[in-house]
């Protein structure tokens, strides 16, 4: 058996060799793109034609079938959105709203009652080395945050406002607040039903607790639980490739191309960025959750501080505009001018971007939190619920106010992370280059965290032997994301990521009584002084 370092080298070498096979094609595309303007139109536009054909194939053969199968419009309005598509309310948004409200009231606003306690736990006040698990509470949180705090915050917020206007930010806050209770529920379940192997390795997440929880509740529900678990495992693998892989590479390459190469849409630049990220991701993924926890515990807090620091600097420099921006968010959230159709459009955009950003209700973060060292499942749920707060209410808000203050979302010809780059450019090249570094690290940490999520889905479905082929395919796919358009990648990631909510929220609601009982007992012991910090 290969040692971890040898496996990491093997994957990196394989990724490099496979990607090199495509370099002649990329070089040919760049050579054609670099010809004089007097060249024939067909020759000069070859890269655009190549990407256009690739994007058209991806949209028609991948995205459209997913949309037809996984989504259902609860109703459609008579209004159009951006003069293009009819405003409709998809079933997934209804599920997210009902799920957030249900779990928040079910546990008596646990997101408010234990907010202070969650900070104590994250600081290590209740950590005990003898508890079973692979990572600390803090490392579990940073591992989960590495999959959420990233381009969903930087590019996703920009997309939300460029499409839905400032009001989309309000619905991101709304989703995050109630999403805290859903994240608490899923990560508590992940600890209750996790499987700890003899070597200390942990297997947990929705595919485990949906199966075990349904079976424990009633033998009649066992087949349904198994179906839900299999569906979730399949979706989390596909979502890992979409939201956790291709979207990250796409936006990172887009920003680097925009900042250093003038936005020339160079295939060589995009492919080169994807190649580098695929090799780096493969080197860490091979080490599993422990290696991921070690890396993210260092990278995520540092980059969050830098990113929020730049945003705060811009906000403070324009502090007099903040009240007007906040008022605009609230006013636009209900969009009275466009009546009901406009309101639904803004709501859907805000909730889609929030779910993409903080993953509350989707169950993905539960896979990382299942590995935390603790004998108190509710305690890890309390830690996990801080994820949506940090991710959306703090980081996304920083992005939103920075963009709205600088009015970068009104710039034409820009998309996604490029909008945020324009906002940061107010502070000069230092901020531009700093944003590039932050985006690269955020995207990288998200890739490795989502690689782990998909890996657990593969292990659940096919066993340990399938993990290595999955890792190879995952790191190779990273290079594809930059070659696709933002619309194609975002649509693909959105659909697969949000689809996770169907089996997860419905399944958790059915078996929620167990968490309710354990939560009430935990709160009682905490308030009575029976449960005390160890530090």
Local confidence pLDDT in tens for the 535 residues of the chain: 333 333 443 334 334 333 333 333 333 333 333 333 333 333 333 445 656 676 677 677 766 776 666 666 666 655 554 544 555 667 777 888 888 899 999 999 999 999 998 888 888 777 777 677 666 777 777 766 665 666 666 766 776 676 667 877 887 888 889 889 999 999 999 999 988 777 767 788 899 999 999 999 888 999 999 999 999 999 899 888 877 777 777 778 877 887 777 666 667 777 788 788 888 777 777 665 566 666 666 666 777 788 888 888 889 988 888 898 888 888 877 764 444 444 555 566 555 555 555 567 788 888 888 888 888 899 889 888 988 888 888 888 888 898 888 888 777 666 666 787 788 877 776 777 877 887 788 788 788 878 888 988 999 999 888 988 998 888 888 877 777 665 666 666 667 777 888 899 999 999 999 999 999 999 999 888 887 776 6
Q: Where are the domains of the chain?
A: 4-35+42-528
Helix axis angle, 377-384 to 512-528, nearest 10°: 90
Radius of gyration in angstroms for the set of CA atoms belonging to the chain, rounded to a whole number:
23
- Alpha carbons 35 and 12: distance in angstroms, whole number: 34
* CATH architecture under which domain 4-35+42-528 falls: Up-down Bundle (1.20)
pTM: 0.76
Q: What are the φ/ψ torsions at residue 484 (nearest 5 degrees)?
A: -95, 160
Contact assessment for residue 171 and residue 89, using Cβ atoms and an 8 Å cutoff: no
DSSP string covering 205-234, please? SHHHHHHHHHHHH-GGGHHHHHHHHHHHHH
Q: What are the φ/ψ torsions at residue 87 (nearest 5 degrees)?
A: -70, 125
DSSP string covering 236-285, please? HHHHHHIIIIIHHHHHHHHHHHHHHSTT---HHHHHHHHHHHHHHHHHHH
Between the CA atoms of 494, 495, 497 and 503, what dihedral angle is there, to the nearest 10 degrees?
A: 150
pLDDT of residue 152: 63
- Alpha carbons 456 and 368: distance in angstroms, whole number: 10
- Alpha carbons 126 and 359: distance in angstroms, whole number: 26
- Alpha carbons 61 and 64: distance in angstroms, whole number: 6
- Alpha carbons 350 and 55: distance in angstroms, whole number: 25
pLDDT of residue 40: 38
pLDDT of residue 493: 67
Q: Which of 312, 313, 272 has the alpha carbon at shortest distance from 440?
A: 272
**DSSP secondary structure code for residue 436 in this structure:** H
Q: Which of 49, 127, 473, 506 has the alpha carbon at shortest distance from 278?
A: 473
Q: Which of 343, 340, 329 has the alpha carbon at shortest distance from 173?
A: 329
pLDDT of residue 1: 33
Q: Which of 137, 144, 112 has the alpha carbon at shortest distance from 123?
A: 137
Largest interatomic CA distance in the chain: 81
- Alpha carbons 272 and 278: distance in angstroms, whole number: 10
Residue 209 burial class via C-beta count within 10 angstroms: exposed 0-12, middle 13-18, buried 19 and up: buried
Question: Of all helices (H) and strands (E), which one includes residue 352?
Answer: helix 339-358
pLDDT of residue 105: 93
**DSSP secondary structure code for residue 390 in this structure:** I
Which SS3 state, helix, strand or coil, does residue 362 take? coil
pLDDT of residue 238: 85
- Alpha carbons 193 and 530: distance in angstroms, whole number: 25
- Alpha carbons 328 and 315: distance in angstroms, whole number: 16
DSSP string covering 464-485, please? GGGHHHHHHHHHHHTTTGGGS-
pLDDT of residue 515: 92
Strands 202-203, 195-196: parallel, antiparallel or unpaired by DSSP? antiparallel
pLDDT of residue 80: 52
- Alpha carbons 446 and 149: distance in angstroms, whole number: 8
Q: What are the φ/ψ torsions at residue 78 (nearest 5 degrees)?
A: -90, 0
């Amino acid at each position: 058996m290969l040692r971890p370092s040898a496996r990491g080298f093997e994957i990196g070498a394989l990724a490099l060799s496979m990607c090199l096979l495509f370099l002649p094609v990329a070089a040919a595309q760049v050579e054609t793109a670099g010809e004089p303007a007097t060249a024939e139109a067909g020759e000069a536009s070859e890269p655009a034609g190549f990407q256009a054909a690739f994007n058209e194939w991806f949209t028609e053969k991948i995205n459209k079938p997913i949309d037809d199968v996984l989504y259902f419009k609860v109703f459609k309005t008579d209004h159009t959105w951006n003069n293009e598509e009819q405003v409709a309310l998809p079933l997934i948004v209804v599920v997210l709203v009902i799920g957030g409200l249900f779990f928040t009231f079910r546990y008596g606003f646990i997101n408010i009652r234990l907010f202070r306690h969650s900070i104590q736990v994250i600081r290590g006040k209740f950590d005990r080395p003898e508890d079973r698990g692979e990572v600390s509470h803090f490392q579990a949180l940073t591992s989960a945050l590495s999959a959420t705090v990233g381009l969903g915050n930087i590019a996703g917020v920009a997309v939300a406002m460029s499409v839905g206007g400032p009001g989309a930010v309000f619905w991101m806050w709304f989703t995050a607040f109630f999403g805290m209770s859903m994240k608490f529920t899923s990560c508590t379940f992940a600890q209750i039903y996790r499987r700890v192997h003899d070597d200390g390795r942990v297997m947990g997440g929705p595919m485990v607790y949906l199966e075990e929880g349904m079976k424990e509740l009633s033998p009649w529900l066992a087949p349904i639980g198994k179906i839900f678990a299999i569906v979730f495992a399949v979706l989390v693998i596909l979502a890992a490739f979409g939201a956790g892989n291709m979207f990250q590479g796409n936006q990172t390459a887009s920003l680097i191309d925009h900042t250093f190469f003038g936005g020339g849409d160079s295939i060589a630049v995009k492919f080169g960025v994807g190649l580098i990220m695929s090799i780096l991701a493969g080197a860490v993924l091979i080490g599993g959750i422990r290696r991921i926890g070690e890396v993210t515990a260092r990278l995520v807090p540092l980059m969050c501080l830098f990113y929020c620091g730049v945003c705060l600097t811009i906000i403070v420099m324009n502090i007099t505009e903040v009240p007007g921006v906040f008022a605009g968010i609230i006013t636009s959230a209900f969009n009275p001018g466009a009546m009901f159709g406009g309101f639904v459009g803004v709501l859907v955009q805000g909730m889609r971007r929030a779910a993409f950003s903080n993953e509350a209700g989707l169950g993905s973060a539960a896979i990382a939190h299942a590995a935390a060292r603790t004998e108190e499942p509710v305690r890890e749920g309390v830690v996990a619920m801080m994820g949506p707060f940090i991710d959306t209410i703090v980081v996304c808000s920083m992005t939103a106010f920075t963009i709205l203050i600088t009015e970068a979302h009104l710039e034409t010809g820009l998309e996604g992370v490029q909008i945020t780059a324009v906002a940061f450019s107010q502070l000069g090249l230092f901020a531009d280059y700093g944003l590039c570094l932050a985006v690269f690290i955020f995207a990288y940490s998200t890739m490795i965290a989502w690689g782990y999520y998909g890996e657990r889905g593969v292990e659940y479905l096919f066993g340990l032997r399938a993990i290595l082929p999955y890792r190879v395919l995952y790191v190779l796919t990273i290079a594809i994301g930059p070659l696709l358009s933002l619309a194609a990648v975002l649509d693909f990631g959105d659909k697969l990521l949000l689809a996770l909510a169907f089996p997860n929220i419905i399944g958790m609601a059915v078996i929620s009584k167990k968490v309710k009982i354990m939560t009430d007992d935990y709160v009682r012991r905490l308030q009575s002084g029976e449960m005390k910090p160890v530090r």
